[in-house]
A and B are shown apart, each in its own frame.
Chain A
Amino acid sequence: MRIFDPHIHMTSRTTDDYRAMYDAGVRALVEPSFWLGQPRTSPASFFDYFDALLGWEPFRASQYGIAHHCTLALNPKEANDPRCTPVLDALPRYLVKDGVVAVGEIGYDSMTPAEDHALAAQLQLAADHGLPALVHTPHRDKLAGLHRTIDVIRESNLPPEHVLLDHLNETTVKAAADSGCWAGFSIYPDTKMDEDRMVTILRNHGTEKMIVNSAADWGKSDPLKTRKVADAMLKAGFTEDDVDQVLWRNPVAFYGQSGRLQLDVPAPDQLHEGNSILRGGE
């Protein structure tokens, strides 16, 4: 079974997670830039983070036979902080990088005017760079937030098939699907979605343009949720081809619109003398 986790924050995870993900079948992932839990205070803090998503983290992933790509953006929460908004001016020089397969995560947190501006500006950046966009839907007031998000997308120069609406659930899946965008679901241990609810949604709405991710990060989360959804799908009677479509071909098709996916990462070598990752000084 081959799995593509289209949304996972590996900078917050350990090398044990990489190994477990490889063992579970994960061969590719996309790491969206996001809020670190601790607010940033300057654009330079973003730049170091972006550099890590384009440098160290892909190297770390490659040690475990996993292809690593990223999406870059000013996230919705920090779009409200004037100390951070100059990041928007610097994004063009990052969006030309090979490892960047979308603009994201963008979208709404509290639905403020500053978030309106950042969302519209970054949808335009995606259109300018021939990139799709990963759009986070808000955790609070989600359905209203989704409608407002879809309105902004309609007014943008980015076609809906270049947009992935993420963190959807039973209450938002229909409006998202009707918009023509791709539908993303984050499977969490307690919040957002679980694997059995995900199976029910797939049964009711089909597998086309449906994307499942773990969204694992520094919170209570599980980087193996993609595999658990695959297993739940098979148990519920979906075919292996259905699983391959949702867990591999759909995310490949969505991010492949960037023209930048490179999925041929060699299998991991034997563990490096017992170390889980190469080190310069141990």
Chain B
Amino acid sequence: MLKSRKELDAELGGAARAWLDEALAEAAHDAATPDLPGPYTSPPWELRYAAAGRHCGPEHADSVRSLLLVEARAPLSSVTRLYEQGTAAERRAVLLTLHRLDLGDTALPLVEDALRANDTRLVAAAVGPYAADHLDPHAWRHAVLKCLFTEVPVAAVARLDDRARGDAELARMLSDFAEERTAAGRAVPEDLRTVLGHVRRIRAGSTTPGTSPSSRLRSSRGGPIPRGVAETPESLRDEGVPAPCDAPHQTPRPIRP
């Protein structure tokens, strides 16, 4: 959880607070003069960005780095440089802050880069509010699936309920994944059920999708997960099975514990 400057001021010792004050002032100053003299030269606040944990404590590094980015009103060029030249921890702080910067969707390549990584710290940071706002449906579904693969808790996925609701293609991907795991004799991640629960939750004011039993999905505890219309694969919809929001009004069957 990122801390505000007020919270940091309350927790930091005198030397760390003074360092943070200077760093934030440098960041604000550099925001007004963004030009760099050479390809390997960084403005002073960017060097502070790297050293944040050593001066303010590793537990505050994310918060301090995030504040620096906001205070510098970091443009895409700075954000990209800090990400591309950053350690995993520095990259994480960039990803955690993207939604607080005025970047539109221009920083999406950084999120996509992090989602290609296998470092779970990066994957977890990449699925925050910025990804929820800007990732296209295909990339977002793969991000969710990647969390399940790498055991990043789906609690890290911002607005999971909102984006997953009624997403039949996501449901198909989840069921295929569960089937593959089951075929291999491996447990299906519990979080898959969490995501599926969000898929099946009904959009406010819309009709309620129906369910049909299926033994295709099995939970890690061995019980079948009923397959609802909300998970209708594309292939079945081509055969006349309705997509989630087109489903007739039926009472959803709860997922078994």
Contacts and interface: CB of A to CB of B under 8 A. Distances in A.
Nearest to B49: A96
Interface residues of A, number: 25
B149 A59 contact: no
Nearest to B116: A280
B51 interface: yes
B186 interface: yes
A87 to B, nearest CB: 10
Given A93-B85, A260-B54, A56 B149 contact: no
Nearest to B91: A55
Nearest to B149: A280
A145 interface: no
Contact of A55 (B47, B50, B88): B88
Chain B interface residue bracket vs A = 20 to 34
Nearest to A100: B87
B85 A262 contact: no
A159 B155 CA distance: 50
Interface in A258-274: 259-260, 262, 272-273
Contacts of A278: 118, 120, 150-151
Contact of B58 (A89, A262, A280): A262
Contacts of A90: 40
B208 to A, nearest CB: 35
B85 to A, nearest CB: 6
Interface string B4-36: 000000000000000000000000000000000
A90 B41 CA distance: 8
A89 B119 contact: no
Interface string A235-247: 0000000000000
Chain A contact surface mostly: loop
Interface string A87-113: 001101100111100000000000000
A67 interface: no
Contacts of A51: 85
Nearest to A91: B40
23 contacts: A47-B85, A51-B85, A54-B87, A55-B87, A55-B119, A56-B88, A56-B119, A59-B120, A92-B40, A93-B40, A93-B42, A93-B50, A96-B47, A98-B51, A98-B89, A259-B54, A262-B58, A278-B118, A278-B151, A280-B117, A280-B146, A281-B149, A282-B149
Interface of A: 47, 51, 54-56, 58-59, 89-90, 92-93, 96-99, 259-260, 262, 272-273, 278-282
Interface of B: 40, 42, 47, 50-51, 53-54, 58, 85, 87-91, 116-121, 123, 146, 149-151, 186-187
Per CB-CB distance, the 9 closest pairs between chain A and chain B, nearest first, are A54-B87, A96-B50, A55-B88, A280-B118, A59-B119, A90-B40, A89-B40, A97-B87, A278-B150
